[in-house]
């Protein structure tokens, strides 16, 4: 089953590469000095759309800053992008936030981290494994964010990674995480909906955990139990829009 899913995803990559080739070439022509990651690294972590990767991701960085500064004074702080991929958001934060802050990115994709380390010198990068273990001291970060990372992890890894993030987060530090909440009921079959509505995590596995094709869907009560030892500052359940993109829930919690 996993092999079929991987092959289908690879075919999708080639189709999108062809579909977006004209607009991507035009964007490169308009921005000849811009450093962009290899196509597959971009596709695997986001979308194979150069303009969206760069310009929309800068807007995401600004959007994140607005959330962060509601709860943390962004001065001389350490900020971690957990699951940074090829740096689409973290590359913008040094210019968006600055103010003496230092920035870090970690990801399990060695190629993404190699590209980031070479092309984004303002950020400290390291490669992690699927195992919940990071090379940082206890109480090291003031802010940790993960955009659609729990959405690709099993239930056991939710708890393992939460414990690791909790370990490296400073007291009074915040976690900013997105999940596939109730909006995603439209994508679940009847068995999955029943499990979700009973408050249990729904996993679509049979592929490599952590890969874009592995999906997890998180009921509100499941996340509340996961964050039991933290203070929930804000839960943002965005309304369904007119686009095909289903909005994820936002969780902001304090240690």
pLDDT at 240: 80
What is the tens place of the pLDDT at every residue in 117-134? 999 999 999 999 989 999
CA 112 to chain centre: 14
pLDDT over 80 at 229, yes or no: yes
d(CA 87, CA 109): 11
List the CATH number of the domain containing 136. 3.40.50.150
Q: Among residues 66, 45, 231, which one has the least CA distance to residue 146?
A: 45
H or E stretch at 58: helix 57-71
Tell me the chain's radius of gyration from C-alpha atoms.
Answer: 18
Residue 28 lies in a domain: no
Strands across the sheet with 141-146, in order?
Answer: 124-127, 102-107, 78-82, 141-146, 169-179, 249-254, 231-237
* Between 45 and 22, the higher pLDDT residue: 22
Return the structure tokens found at 219. Answer: 């009921």
Task: Confirm whether pTM is higher than 0.85.
Answer: yes
Residue 48 pLDDT class (50, 70, 90 cuts): confident
Residue 43 lies in a domain: no
Sequence-distant (6+) residues with CB within 8 A of 202 are 188, 192, 195, 196, 216, 217
Total domains in the fold of the chain: 1
What is the tens place of the pLDDT at every residue in 159-197? 999 999 999 999 999 999 999 999 999 999 999 999 999
Residue 203 lies in a domain: yes
pLDDT at 131: 92
pLDDT over 60 at 36, yes or no: yes
Range of the domain at 139: 59-254
Residue 150 lies in a domain: yes
What is the tens place of the pLDDT at every residue in 98-124? 889 999 999 999 999 999 999 999 999
Handedness of CA 124, 68, 253, 210 (dihedral sign): negative
Residue 134 lies in a domain: yes
Residue 3 lies in a domain: no
Residue 243 lies in a domain: yes
pLDDT at 29: 92
Q: What phi and psi, each to the nearest 5 degrees, are found at residue 61?
A: -60, -40
């Amino acid at each position: 089953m996993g092999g079929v899913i991987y092959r289908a995803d690879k075919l999708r990559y080639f189709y999108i590469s062809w579909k977006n080739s004209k607009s991507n070439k035009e964007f490169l022509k308009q921005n000849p000095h811009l450093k962009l990651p290899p196509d597959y690294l971009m596709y695997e972590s986001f979308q194979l759309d150069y303009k969206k990767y760069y310009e929309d991701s800068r807007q995401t960085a600004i959007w994140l800053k607005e959330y962060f500064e509601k709860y943390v004074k962004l001065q001389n702080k350490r900020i971690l992008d957990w699951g940074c991929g090829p740096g689409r958001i973290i590359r913008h934060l040094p210019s968006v936030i600055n103010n003496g802050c230092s920035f870090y990115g970690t990801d399990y994709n060695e190629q993404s981290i190699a590209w980031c380390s070479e092309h984004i010198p303002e950020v400290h990068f390291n490669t992690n494994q699927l195992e919940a273990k990071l090379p940082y001291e206890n109480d090291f970060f003031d802010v940790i964010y993960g955009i659609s990372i729990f959405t690709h992890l099993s239930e056991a890894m939710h708890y393992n990674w939460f414990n690791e993030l909790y370990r490296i987060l400073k007291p009074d530090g915040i976690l900013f995480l997105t999940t596939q909440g109730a909006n995603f009921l439209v994508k679940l079959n009847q068995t999955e909906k029943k499990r979700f509505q009973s408050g249990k995590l729904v996993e679509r596995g049979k592929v490599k955990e952590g890969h874009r094709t592995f999906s997890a869907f998180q009921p509100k009560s499941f996340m509340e139990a996961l964050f039991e030892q933290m203070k929930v500052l804000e839960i943002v359940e965005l309304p369904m829009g007119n686009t095909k993109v289903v909005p994820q829930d936002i969780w902001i919690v304090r240690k």
